[in-house]
Amino acid sequence: MFMKITSRLLVGLLITNSLTPAIYADPNETIFGEGEEKNWFLEEEEPKTKKEPVDTAAPMEISGDIGLAPAVKYQDGEWELKNGISGKLTLKRKVPVTPCGKYEAALALSLKLTDKEVKLAKATATIAKCITIGYGSSIFVYEKSHAGLYAAPSAAALQIKFKHKFNAFHLGYSVERPVALKLGLFDKTKISEEDIKQRANKVDDVKDKKRAFQVTGDFPAVGLSVGVVNDALNYCLSGLARYSNYTHDPKAGDKPDPNQAAAATSSKDTHYLFTWGANLGLNYQVVPDQCSFTVQGFYVHGLGDYIAGAKAIQSDPDREEMCAAYYVDKKQHAITPIDMVGGGGMVEFSITPKIGVDLSGSYIKVLGDDVTNTTKPGDSFQSTWHGDLGFSYKLHKHLSISAGYGMKKEYTVVDKKSEGLAHSVSGGINFSF
């Protein structure tokens, strides 16, 4: 009997050991409290860790160039040597716009270097590719314009600009701070060197707080542009309007009358001047990246300080001649806007990937009553033209050299007071990164 029970027990133990896997004690096993059970067949979840925020902003793009451009000028039997230095540094970065996060803002900062100064050229934020806020080129400036054209608008301003695209059609409008209008006296009776030193036929000295005309410019300028852009053609028609307010004191500069009350010696009154202009630009790619031409034309009524060639005369410290508006009598509040028209163009051609040629020229002319020589002195600006031929050669991806020849002629109200034809030969070396 005992043998039977023992044999049966041994058989049962053998069968049990063959079917059931071995279970070992885990010294690190968690001890469960009463009523707790562990599901051995489910994998344990890894502890959740806090994810670091991901910076979705694009890396900053840095570009720039610096160049030397010596030139020799010959005019009226005299030689003049110039050595120009120029440079530009641009920083760009794209960042997401919060809180929505679905749009990008393109930030841009540019500094311009000359041999005289370093100044801010651009500081803008463009949101969703259609809203631009900051300091940049006026909407009156054609984006494909060549910097060397006298007839090209050239101005920068604080602004908010909107741009909409409907396939190839582009529409833009802006509100911007206008270029400060500068006024001055044209006096036909004062043309001697001594008179010029006394600021006759020059823009008024803005530091003179007692001058007869003082422009406050409290109103913003407004602009509009329409155009078509595709792979080969880019043309745009833009317009700008500036509304300036100024005060006039007919007694400015007069010696006070001791028999008259002090309050009566000054009688300022406020007046307004509306100036405007239109600019048409066109760029056509005859052969992409090999041959293209750009043409431009403008008409301005009192906006000469937006035109490159005209405002260069006004900013010239040796001339400072008015290019937008003037007056002929300090006792009268009347101001005459200067009407001006001009056009120009440029052809660029790549002979090889390393050798390029460009030909450019433009013409500017003053219109209206100034042509009849009724108000302006004989040596004041009437018209100008220029033509330039340039060559460039790329020594390296970041290094190039250039050479050029140019001609320029300016005419005054009385032609016999005009200077002769100016010739210039220039060279240059440019490094970019």
Residue 383 in tokens: 């018209």
pLDDT per residue as tens digits for the range 90-144: 888 888 765 545 667 888 888 888 777 888 888 989 888 889 999 999 999 999 8
pLDDT at 86: 85
Query: Is 60 in contact with 91 (CB distance < 8 Å)?
Result: yes
pLDDT at 42: 46
pLDDT per residue as tens digits for the range 293-308: 999 999 999 999 999 9
φ and ψ at 191, to 5 degrees? -135, 5
Return the H-helix or E-strand segment holding 69.
Answer: strand 61-75
pTM of the model: 0.80
d(CA 213, CA 216): 10
Distances (CA, A) of 139 to 211, 264, 403: 32, 45, 32
pLDDT at 253: 66
Q: What angle do CA 28, 34, 39 make, to 5 degrees?
A: 60
Bond into 377 cis (ω within 30) = no
Q: Is the pLDDT of residue 25 over 60?
A: no
pLDDT at 258: 57
Query: Is 108 in contact with 87 (CB distance < 8 Å)?
Result: no
Cβ contacts of 110 within 8 Å, gap of 6 or more: 88, 89, 90, 91, 120, 121, 122, 123
Residue 254 in tokens: 């007069």
pLDDT band at 210 (very low <50, low <70, confident <90, very high): confident
The residue whose two tokens read 């400036």 is 141
pLDDT at 350: 93
pLDDT at 266: 55
CB atoms within 10 A of CB 43: 6
d(CA 231, CA 227): 14
User: Taking residues 53-70, what's their average pLDDT?
Assistant: 77
Residue-range domains of the chain with CATH: 61-252+265-432 (2.40.160.10)
d(CA 135, CA 120): 9
